[in-house]
Amino acid sequence: MPETRLTLVSHPLCPFVQRVAIVLHEKGIAFERIDVDLRDKPEWFLAMSPLGKVPLLQLVHDKARESVLFESVAICEYVEDVQAAPALHPVDALLRAQHRAWMEFASAALSDAWGLLNASDHETAKAKGTAFRKKLERLEADMSDGPYFGGKAFSMVDAFIAPVFRYFDLLAGESAHPVFDGLERVASWRRALARRPSVRAAVADDYAARLRQHLQDQNALLASNPLSTASLTDVRQATT
């Protein structure tokens, strides 16, 4: 995309923004990043975003024409279409469709994980954690032998799940959460994604501090004792 200038309109904690950033880094595409305060959305942002959400990808073309894309799936698919290499979707049509379905599955896992992280009571944490655990178990059963979801090649599915795993890497370190117990393929996958340069580059240096502050502001159980909170023990017991 040599004649197009890209700006990723972002929020520092948004996992959907991270997906887009990972894909852009994987493709080697240069972009500028601008963060917005979603609690006090500027007028220029509301004019650009039909849903009032991030991410947005602003494209300024060679003759100063401007386009704006919204929704992370649409943005990532566009980037894949216009910059073929390295490919982040399988060549085979059936496998490609299956990967797109797993991208949706990753979004559902993200919803459960976010609910677990933000839970302020044990009942909610247990319900969300149990739902998240079930999705992890399904991934364990259906993914390849690694190091990535589909095998040796990094794919769009990996880009979509990486922000989910990052939460737990930052709060507890490798495999400390009971919700991950016994899931060896997922654990190896999680480690491989944590080492991936594109994944590491998708957030700012202060991301961990911002995440912890957010959880404290939400009075989340994990904010005070992420490694041993009783809710996560309940999750593990409920799924065995």
pLDDT in tens, 92-125: 999 999 999 999 999 999 999 999 999 999 999 9
Taking only the tens place, the pLDDT of each residue in 185-227 is 999 999 999 999 999 999 999 999 999 999 999 999 888 755 4
Taking only the tens place, the pLDDT of each residue in 40-62 is 999 999 999 999 999 999 999 88
Region(s) of the chain under CATH 1.20.1050.10: 93-238
Residue 222: per-residue pLDDT: 82
- Order of strands, edge to edge, in the sheet holding 56-60? 32-35, 5-10, 56-60, 66-70
What CATH number labels 5-82? 3.40.30.10
What CATH number labels 93-238? 1.20.1050.10
Residue 195: per-residue pLDDT: 97
Measured CA to CA, the distance from residue 165 to residue 235 in angstroms comes to 17
The confidence band for 239, taking pLDDT boundaries of 50, 70 and 90, is very low
Region(s) of the chain under CATH 3.40.30.10: 5-82
pTM for the full model?
0.92
Considering the chain, what percentage of its residues have pLDDT values greater than 70?
Answer: 90
Average pLDDT of every residue of the chain: 91
22, 198 contact by CB (below 8 A): yes
- On the question of pLDDT at 236 being above 60, the answer is no
Residue 39: per-residue pLDDT: 94
